[in-house]
């Protein structure tokens, strides 16, 4: 029972939040006259001593103390004596842990927001650098239409921007203070919940004592945002894995973010990207773990909820590593734009441009233009050339409405330059999108 009941091995990482919550609580108790000014001052000073001890020596895995809350109170008692027993007046471990956990998730969210901003800065900088760099765009991992590398990287900026939004939204919802809800029904002491909420930087107190101690949706919101973010990171990591392979050859990863082989000296393995990709599975598992824990619990508190913290802690550590690694890879990667351009030019990626030209200039219905273009691609394949190198007479043999103006749209540069619709890949669009993104962040 001692081992299964104790949570100190993992909840000790909330010691800063536990001390902060206790400081706010005792200050309120003193201000309300619930404990004497002398006892409130002694407890505050004692908490400072306890915090200094934790900071200097760490928090021991003392299973007899069960959790960080009991350990802190025991150390406070050692420091100041019997007055320490007044700290727990008008609160329960239920509202105490709910408050500590919200504070921890809030701090974790702020760390993620900063890390996401750093990744976004890296994406914007590299997109600016490669606003004109042509590469093949893919569907079904088949060459589809030419795009620019800047446009491709800006797609991940959009994902990161939504991730930032999700974490910000969660922070707003989570920023209400459960302290004062006590075990489940509130307390008969004349406490000031607004004061403790303000002292801890919350927007206000939670509104229902039962809900305050019994729900962990703020933690689930964090995990949901983290899981979605990890999926975005995993997709970018997968692209780096593909692009770093010899068949693609689009990117060379720095030695800092790749590893060698134990037997093959020529290898430069994208291990960091592969680990980011792998972490996404574990982070999603953390979300599922807490969802299953919470799905059938009656109000209010049940001991199952002691298992709420390990998946959140694990998720945060993995996400922080993934964000740091992905940011480093984006910043330091060498993009082989010559290889990208060569492959963009080799896959008949401007076929759609030919079809569009027929619609615009020849007044050809798109479905007919699609069939004409298919025949043009077959001709280019038979001649072993790209579309813009097919002789005009060969194109006119397919359809007499084609004239020399068609060559203005058949190169990859002309193709990307023509995609000027809002959100399109034209280099000027990409630069405008980067400016807008930086203005949004300012």
Instruction: Give the whole-angstrom CA distance, residue 45 versus residue 12.
Output: 21
Instruction: Give the whole-angstrom CA distance, residue 10 versus residue 6.
Output: 9
**183 token code pair:** 């075990």
CB atoms within 10 A of CB 13: 15
**299 token code pair:** 């109000």
- Asked if 140 is an active-site residue, the reply is yes
Catalytic residue among 245, 261, 346, 382: 261
Check: CB of residue 295 under 8 Å from CB of residue 308.
no
Task: Give the chain's length.
Answer: 442
Sign of the CA dihedral running 7, 9, 12, 14: negative
Q: Where are the beta strands (DSSP E) in 95-249?
A: 134-139, 142-148
Of 44, 33, 48, nearest to 192 by C-alpha is: 33
Bridge partner residues of 135 (DSSP): 147
CA 283 to each of CA 230, 273, 289, 304, 319: distance values in angstroms, whole numbers, following the listed order? 7, 15, 10, 20, 8
**121 token code pair:** 């800065």
Query: In whole angstroms, what separates CA 150 from the centre of its chain?
Result: 21
- Asked if 418 is an active-site residue, the reply is no
Instruction: Give the whole-angstrom CA distance, residue 115 versus residue 113.
Output: 5
Sign of the CA dihedral running 67, 73, 77, 79: positive
Give Cβ neighbours of residue 48 (< 8 Å, ≥ 6 apart): none
Q: Which residues are catalytic?
A: 140, 261
């Amino acid at each position: 029972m001692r081992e299964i009941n104790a949570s100190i091995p993992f909840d000790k990482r909330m010691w800063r939040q536990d001390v902060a919550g206790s400081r706010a609580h005792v200050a309120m108790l003193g201000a309300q006259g619930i404990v004497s000014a002398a006892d409130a001052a002694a407890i505050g000073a004692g908490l400072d001593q306890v915090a200094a001890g934790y900071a200097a020596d760490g928090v021991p895995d003392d299973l007899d103390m069960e959790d960080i809350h009991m350990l802190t109170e025991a150390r406070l008692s050692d420091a100041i004596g019997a007055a320490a027993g007044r700290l727990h007046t008008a609160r329960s471990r239920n509202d105490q842990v709910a408050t500590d956990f919200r504070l921890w998730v809030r701090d974790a969210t702020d760390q993620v927001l900063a890390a996401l901003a750093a990744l976004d800065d890296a994406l914007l900088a590299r997109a600016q650098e490669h606003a004109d760099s042509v590469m093949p765009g893919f569907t079904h991992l088949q060459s589809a239409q030419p795009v620019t590398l800047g446009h491709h990287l800006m797609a991940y900026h959009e994902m990161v921007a939504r991730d930032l939004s999700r974490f910000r939204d969660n922070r707003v919802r989570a920023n209400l203070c459960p302290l004062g809800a006590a075990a489940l029904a509130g307390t008969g002491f004349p406490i000031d919940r607004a004061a403790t909420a303000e002292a801890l930087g919350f927007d206000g107190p939670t509104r229902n004592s039962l809900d305050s101690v019994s729900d962990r949706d703020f933690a689930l919101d964090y995990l949901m945002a983290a899981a979605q973010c990890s999926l975005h990171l995993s997709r970018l990591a997968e692209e780096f894995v593909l692009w770093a392979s010899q068949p693609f050859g689009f990117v060379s990863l720095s030695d800092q973010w790749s590893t060698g082989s134990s037997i093959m000296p020529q290898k430069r393995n994208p291990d960091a990207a592969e680990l980011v990709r792998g972490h996404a599975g574990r982070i999603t598992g953390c979300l599922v773990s807490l969802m299953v824990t919470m799905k059938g619990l009656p109000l209010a508190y049940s001991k199952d909820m002691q298992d709420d913290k390990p998946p959140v802690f694990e998720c945060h550590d993995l996400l922080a590593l993934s964000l740091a690694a992905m940011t480093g890879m984006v910043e330091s990667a060498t993009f082989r734009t010559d290889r990208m351009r060569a492959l963009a030019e080799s896959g008949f990626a401007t076929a759609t441009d030919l079809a569009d030209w027929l619609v615009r200039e020849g007044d050809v219905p798109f479905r007919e233009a699609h069939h004409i273009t298919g025949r043009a691609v077959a001709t280019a394949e038979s001649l072993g050339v790209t579309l813009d190198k097919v002789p005009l007479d060969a194109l006119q043999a397919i359809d007499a409405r084609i004239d020399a103006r068609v060559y203005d749209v058949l190169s990859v540069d002309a193709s990307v330059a023509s995609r000027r619709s809002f959100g399109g890949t034209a280099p000027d669009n990409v630069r405008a999108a980067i400016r807008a993104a930086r203005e949004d962040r300012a």
